[in-house]
Structure 1
Amino acid sequence: MRILGLLLVLLLGISGCSARQFYIDHGYVRLAAAPGRPAVAYFTLHGGSTDTTLVAVHSEFSLRTELHQSMTSGGMAAMKPLDQVALPAGGKVAFKPGGMHVMLFGLNPVIKPGKTMTLQFTFADGNRYDYEALVIAPGDPAPKF
C-alpha cells in the first residue's frame, strides 16, 4: 500500500510539472481600404515555458512585412517600426488595433475576404511557427473569437 501511495505522489508531481505550450490565436488580416496601401495583421501570442523574442512575421502573399507599434503623442497618432517583441514565459502579448500590429506591404490581390492566409512567425532562437489567419474586408468588424 505504501508503494502505491508513493507512485500516486510521483505521478501527480509529474503531471503538475508539464511544460507550458507556446501558441498563437485570435489572428486575422484586415485588407487595406485603398489599393496600394498595406494590409494589417493582428493576433495574440501565448508564451511557453521559456522567454522568447518575436523577430519577424512573414507571408508568402506579401512582398514585405514590418512589426509596428501605434502610439499617440501630442494628440497625433503615429507608428514606429519594431525590431523585436519580447514574449515572457507563460505571458501573453496581443497585437491589436491601436497597439502592436504587422503591416503587410504589396499583398497579392488573390487574397480575398473570407479566405485564410498563412503567417509565419520567426523567433530569435530560430523557431518558426505557421498560423492560418482569417482575412477580412476593410470595413468588417473584427472576428469574434
Structure 2
Amino acid sequence: MRIVFGLGVAAMALASCSPPKELSVDGAWVRLGAVTGRPAAAYFTVHGGPTPTTLISATTDVAIRSEMHETMDKGGMSTMTPLAKVEIPANTDVAFAPGGRHVMLFDMNSGIKPADRVTLTFAFADGTRIINNATVVAAGTPVGK
C-alpha cells in the first residue's frame, strides 16, 4: 500500500514539473484553387503556448502573396474579411478551417500539384517564426484529406 501511495505522489510531482505547453502549429494543408490562376487556401491549427501571442502572417515561397481572411455569414450571404492579425490566447487552440479563418495564397506556382508538400512560415508579433509543411489537395477533395 505504501509503495502505491509513494508512486502516486512521485507521479504527481513529475507532472507538476513538466514544461509548459509550447506555441506550435500543426495539421497544415493547402487546397488548390478550382480554376487555374485562382487563389489557393491554407488551413491549420495554432496551439497557444504559456503566454498570449499574435499571429501576424502565414506565408509560403510558392505564392506571390498571402492574406489572412475570415469567412462570415451576413444575412445569408457569405463574405470574406481580411485579418491583419489573429490573437492567440495562452494555452488555447485557434483553428484556420474551411468556412472560417484561412490564408489566401495568391499567384501560386503553377507547378504545385495535389499530394505535393509546401512549406508555410508562421510569423508572430513577438518575433517567433514557426515553419511547417502542408499537404496540397485538389479543389474538390473532401475537407482535410
Query: TM-score band (shorter)?
Result: 0.7 to 0.9
Normalised TM-score (structure 2): 0.88
The residue aligned with 1:45 is: 46
- 1:46-65 CA distance string (max 9 Å, x none): 01111100000110000000
Normalised TM-score (structure 1): 0.88
Residue 16 of structure 1 aligns with an amino acid whose one-letter code is C
Residue 115 of structure 1 aligns with an amino acid whose one-letter code is D
CA contact 2:98–2:143 (8 Å) conserved in 1? no
The residue aligned with 1:80 is: 81
Q: Distance in 2 between matches of 1:57 and 1:110?
A: 21
Q: Which moved more, 1:125-134 or 1:17-26?
A: 17-26
**Structure 1 runs of 4+ with >6 Å offset:** none
Alignment of 1:1-145 (within 5 A): 12=13, 15-16=16-17, 18-143=19-144
- 1:59-107 CA distance string (max 9 Å, x none): 0000000000000111111001000001111001000011000000000
Count of residue correspondences: 137
Give me the identity figure in percent: 47
Q: Secondary structure at the match of 2:63?
A: coil
Q: Distance in 2 between matches of 1:91 and 1:113?
A: 31
Deviation of the 1:23 alpha carbon: 1.5
* Unaligned runs of at least 5 residues, structure 2: 1-5
Q: Distance in 2 between matches of 1:76 and 1:129?
A: 34
* Unaligned runs of at least 5 residues, structure 1: none
RMSD across aligned C-alpha pairs, in angstroms? 1.8
